[in-house]
Amino acid sequence: MSGPDEHNAVVVAELGAIAGREMYQRNAFRVTGLETEADAAVVRGRQQWISAARSAGMGADLDADEVRDAFDRIGDAPRRLVHELFWLWDSPKATCSCARSLHKDHDVAVRAHSAALDREARLTAPDGAGRRELADLWNTAARAWSSVLGRADLWDHVRHRVHELDSLDASALEPLRSELPAFLVKPLVELAGSAEDPARLAAIARSWPVPSHVLDDALKSVSEPLFQTVRSQLDRPGDPAAKVAGVRDTVLPLLRRLDGLFPRGQNRRAAGAHAEAANMINDCARELVSASALLDDAAAREWLNLALSIADDDTTRQLITKSLTDLDKLVETLDNVGEDARRQLAAGRTDAVRDVLRRLLVQAGGGAGSGALAEMLAQVENQRPLVWRADPRTPPTQGLSARALRSGVIGTFAVAVVLAIGWMYGVGPTPAPVRLGTTNTATMPPSTPTTPAGPKPATLFAERMSDNAPAGTCLATEEGWDDSEDKSSVPTVSCDEPHWGEVLGYVRLARAPSRYPGDDQVTALAGFHCGRMLEHQKLAESHDFDYVIPVRASWNEGGEVYQNYATCVAVSMDDSLMAAGRATEPRGPVPGRVTTVMSLYAAKIRDNAPVGTCVRTERSFDTMISVSVLPCSQPHWGKIIGYPVLYGKGKKWPGLNALVAKARVACERLADARSDVKYGIGYSINYIRPLKRVFADKSRVRYATCVLTRTDNRLMKR
């Protein structure tokens, strides 16, 4: 090298070449065993000694190419200067006039940084204790390097070494001074960029002595391959199911990694990727409900909920929420059309049914529901049984009962038969109601009431709890409860008569207004609170409970009256009539100490104990179990922090090691994300993973159950 500029370019290039996960392992002075002050004669002597030792059969553990490369770097002054900076300085042979404390402080930083990198390499999936150990090591290294970089005499030492190396001049200090902070944090950034859960490492990197814009540039660099893979997957052609599967299996894990590198919502490019993925799923759902011969509303709803979980911005979330609401309307409309058509076909009015279906198909114009209408018309013309939905289990627009959820059959509320042809498109006005004839649902003029004169109708699911029938009200029959889908006119009788159920009470599931917590959490909360209400009554084991819960469209997220609650009813286990006389008693609020037994790993997440409730006493997680749960305000052993989905339906067994690592990372990510979880020293995360037999059932989602406990297994008090 002939000039300062060329020397400086070599310095920067060498910084880039060595700075990384193995920056200390690959250091030329570590490889050769030389001190950083070694002069040319000492270097030659060491090189000759190693060569002779290898010839004599010693030093077989030394890689010849690595040793040769290390001596080449030490022989080149610009590259040697970089390696000196990242190795030990404190030596009795030191010739510089630096304070001894500088050498010691520098070596403390080198050793601490090296220890953190070595430990990080060994702990590939650290548990809670391991994460805390790593955090301590990284913090120690950051403080040590920050202290060294803050000393003015650091660069006096480097200036001395530039002079000693002779072939360099003082200008070599400038690239080192400006580039060193970025290259010190480079190993952390590289680790974060390749980690499945990068949030921990990215957070540590932000605590290092490096300007924020430099760190941002480094994070953007390692995130670029992730963004490119997201872009490639979103651009991949395919049918709606394949596209959604690509988002779920490929894009979503990448978005989670990007959210770890850049806190969610704080990086414009990552936010754009979230919005694009969510909008693509929304488009796929639109295509599904338009083109499918049998309306697969269950799949469309699952896709839209996935899109809602991905979306960050309010505009996209509002679009998807509207899509969910319009899907409910579409399903309800098709159900009314289909059921009415069946009745008219049974009455021999085939021509009338055919004419109405043709008219509706024209009105649909290729939009939502048109595929199902075309299939229904073909079924009528070919005298096949009338079927229009792939899965009839669709939530109503008001509330769901536990009985409906348990049986898997959910009815729809009666509304005017209006085909929502503009679903997700906003195309034209809604067509006028079309009727196929008389019917016994409220979509048509009501028929003469057949309810016996004795029972009196009562409201059990009004917007305000105070507008409902009081606790202790007795319900006449199972049919009366099931038939009143909105629970606005449930037949009731005097409790002195045999009756089917008794109102336990009304319980808030969340504040009103508040953000909708999801279908699974709402169902689980109702089971938890109603179960505790039943336990508080201390009835015989022959009793069970039922409930009514709101769906998303009814939830009060602001500007509404509904109080976000559930209605709880006591019934006989076998649904037989209860004897005359009230079985329950008004008992007031349920004490916090009252527990109810719930699952921690049911086939469906909604049937588990809700997130945010607590396990009363210590349990083993070797098997999938039911436990006694209670509010976390009471002394408890463990807190349920979530049920992260590990793999979608149909995923093959990934192997035990991969599954365990994925479950652990998912639970730790949940713990880190929840502000109400005290996850740190003295606490650990327990998890239940799916057994191998779960993967044999293609209909089941594979998820983990995450429970926070103390490491000493003592009870927690909040």
Which tens digit of pLDDT belongs to each residue from 534-544? 999 988 778 99
Residue with tokens 């989602």: 701
Dist. CA 247–CA 245, nearest whole Å: 5
Residue with tokens 């404390």: 101
What's the token pair of residue 617? Answer: 């006493």
Dist. CA 712–CA 710, nearest whole Å: 5
Peptide bond into 263 cis (omega under 30): no
Phi, psi of 475 (to 5 degrees): -95, 140
Mean pLDDT of the 53-71 span: 77
State the pLDDT at residue 495. Answer: 93
- Same domain? 241 vs 162: no
At residue 717, the 3 state secondary structure works out as: coil
Report the range of poorest mean pLDDT among 196-200, 362-366, 482-486, 569-573. 362-366
With a pLDDT cut of 70, the percent of the chain lying above it is: 88
Dist. CA 596–CA 507, nearest whole Å: 15
More confident residue, 493 or 430: 493
- Same domain? 73 vs 197: yes
Dist. CA 23–CA 674, nearest whole Å: 35
- Same domain? 561 vs 484: yes
- Same domain? 277 vs 199: no
Mean pLDDT of the 425-430 span: 30
- Same domain? 588 vs 623: no
What's the token pair of residue 544? Answer: 């069970």
Query: Residue 393 burial (CB < 10 Å; 0-12/13-18/19+)?
Result: middle
- Same domain? 186 vs 203: yes
Dist. CA 91–CA 231, nearest whole Å: 53
DSSP track, 198-266: THHHHHHHTTSSS-HHHHHHHHHHHHHHHHHHHHHHHT----HHHHHHHIIIIIHHHHHHHHHHS-TTS
Q: Which amino acid is at 196?
A: E
At 95, is the pLDDT very low, low, confident or very high (cuts 50, 70, 90)?
confident
Tell me how far CA of residue 473 lies from CA of 261, 500, 562, in angstroms: 55, 11, 21
Instruction: Return the sign of the alpha-carbon dihedral for residues 669, 672, 675, 680.
Output: positive
Beta strands in 525-657 (DSSP E): 543-550, 565-572, 596-599, 614-615, 626-630, 638-642, 645-647
Cβ atoms of 261 and 286 within 8 Å: the answer is no
State the pLDDT at residue 98. Answer: 86
Mean pLDDT of the 79-101 span: 87
408 within domain boundaries: no
At 493, is the pLDDT very low, low, confident or very high (cuts 50, 70, 90)?
very high
State the pLDDT at residue 106. Answer: 93
Mean pLDDT of the 277-291 span: 87
Containing domain of residue 376, as a range?
237-246+261-392+414-421
- Same domain? 199 vs 277: no
Mean pLDDT of the 515-526 span: 95
- Same domain? 578 vs 630: no
Structural domains counted in the chain: 4
Mean pLDDT of the chain, nearest integer: 82
Nearest one of 71, 52, 273, 85 to 184, comparing CA atoms: 85
At 237, is the pLDDT very low, low, confident or very high (cuts 50, 70, 90)?
confident
More confident residue, 131 or 498: 498
State the pLDDT at residue 5. Answer: 66
Of 592, 614, 634, which marks where a domain is finished?
592
18 within domain boundaries: yes
450 within domain boundaries: no
At 673, is the pLDDT very low, low, confident or very high (cuts 50, 70, 90)?
confident
Tell me how long the chain is.
Answer: 718
The set of residues, in sequence order, having a beta carbon less than 8 Å from that of 574 and lying 6+ positions away, is 542
445 within domain boundaries: no
- Same domain? 599 vs 586: no
Which tens digit of pLDDT belongs to each residue from 651-664? 889 988 889 889 98
Tell me how far CA of residue 411 lies from CA of 396, 401, 539, in angstroms: 6, 10, 31
What's the token pair of residue 451? Answer: 């309810």
Which tens digit of pLDDT belongs to each residue from 438-476? 222 222 223 333 444 479 999 999 988 989 999 999 999
Count the Cβ atoms, other than its own, within 10 Å of residue 61: 5
- Same domain? 653 vs 548: no
What's the token pair of residue 351? Answer: 């021509």
H/E run at residue 456: strand 456-458
Measured distance between the N- and C-terminal CA atoms of the chain, rounded to whole angstroms? 67
Q: Which amino acid is at 110?
A: V
- Same domain? 609 vs 575: no
226 within domain boundaries: no
Dist. CA 543–CA 535, nearest whole Å: 10
State the pLDDT at residue 59. Answer: 57
- Same domain? 703 vs 606: yes
State the pLDDT at residue 391. Answer: 52
Most confident of 40-44, 290-294, 439-443, 450-454: 40-44
**pLDDT of 2 over the 70 cut:** no
* DSSP 8-class letter at 500: S
**pLDDT of 363 over the 80 cut:** no
312 within domain boundaries: yes
Phi, psi of 629 (to 5 degrees): -120, 155
405 within domain boundaries: no
Phi, psi of 615 (to 5 degrees): -85, 130
At 7, is the pLDDT very low, low, confident or very high (cuts 50, 70, 90)?
low
222 within domain boundaries: no
At 644, is the pLDDT very low, low, confident or very high (cuts 50, 70, 90)?
very high
State the pLDDT at residue 165. Answer: 83
Please state the separation of Cα 632 from the chain's center in Å.
23
Nearest one of 151, 82, 87, 142 to 112, comparing CA atoms: 142
